[in-house]
Amino acid sequence: MDWMVTRWQITELVETLLSPAACDVVQTWLGDRRFLDKQGDPAMLSLIETEKPAFQRLVQAANQYLEADDVLMELARLGLVEQLATGRVMLRRSTYGPGNAGPVDRRRSTLASRGMLGRRHTDINPGSDSPVKNREKSS
């Protein structure tokens, strides 16, 4: 395999929803240079085996005993890939996130998931990262 230090990783939610085999396929898609575009993002893959990069080759790179159709069906059922009219498949951006997130990025992700991104620091109880409105503090 031609692995690189990837800037992407599978999201925790997707990791819990996918079978371990399909999870391996997505992780290979995010980390193997053969399946990344020039910018290091997951490439659109052909559904035709003879074209490069091909989805079937991705599946075989992750696990030679998997059937590409089964993996594609699982990913599509969960809405993690989009099959295009051009005969290609694209990994949806909601499937993966920053792989090298530092403490600031992790905190921003946590705040965003709680609907707190963009609020003033005084709206958050320091030390617990839980939302506390100023008016509640003054009561």
pLDDT tens by residue, 87-118: 999 999 988 888 764 444 444 454 444 544 44
Q: Would strands 45-46 and 88-91 be described as parallel, antiparallel, or unpaired?
A: antiparallel
- What angle separates helix 55-62 from helix 68-77, to the nearest 10 degrees? 100
Neighbours of 135 (CB within 10 A): 7
pTM across the whole model: 0.68
Cα–Cα dist 95/23, whole Å: 10
pLDDT score recorded for residue 111: 46
- Tell me which CATH code domain 8-97 carries: 1.10.10
Instruction: Enumerate the domain spans of the chain.
Output: 8-97, 101-138
Burial of 55 (0-12, 13-18, 19+ CB in 10 A): buried
pLDDT tens by residue, 6-37: 678 888 888 899 999 999 999 999 999 999 99
